[in-house]
Amino acid sequence: MSPTGDKLYISNYSDDKLLTLARDGSVLATFTDPALQCPLGIHVTPAGQVLVSGWGSNTILQVDSEGKRKLATLATHEDGVESPRSVCYNRHTSSIIILGCHKNS
């Protein structure tokens, strides 16, 4: 949910989308990007920045508060991200915490 409580962010895992909904459930925006596959975790910072973990793309993206455009790719597989399930921003340490899943075979 946005800091102001007027928007709800939902990941659509099977369709590779981030949906932004109004409080009444109407769709305000649908975000897709080639760098976002199988989105799972969503975190909204106190400043309203939206962080999304792409489980299938091994990425962490920053999306604008309207849920319409990518602001940055914050981390990728090359940075060590593997199957991220959740993402969180810690304002006290100014760091991003990523919960991943790795299966040794």
Q: Which amino acid appears at position 43 of this protein?
A: H
State pTM to two decimals: 0.90
Q: What is the pLDDT of residue 103?
A: 57
Other Cβ atoms within 10 Å of 71 Cβ, number:
12
What structural domains does the chain harbor? 7-99 (2.120.10.30)
Its sign, for the CA torsion 39, 9, 70, 28, is positive
**Mean pLDDT per segment of 10 residues, for the chain of length 105 residues?**
94 97 97 97 93 97 96 94 93 90 56
Distances (CA, A) of 24 to 28, 68, 91, 96, 101: 10, 19, 30, 31, 34
Q: How many residues does the chain have?
A: 105
- Distance between CA 99 and CA 66 in Å, rounded? 25
The pair of structure tokens assigned to 31 is 């975000």
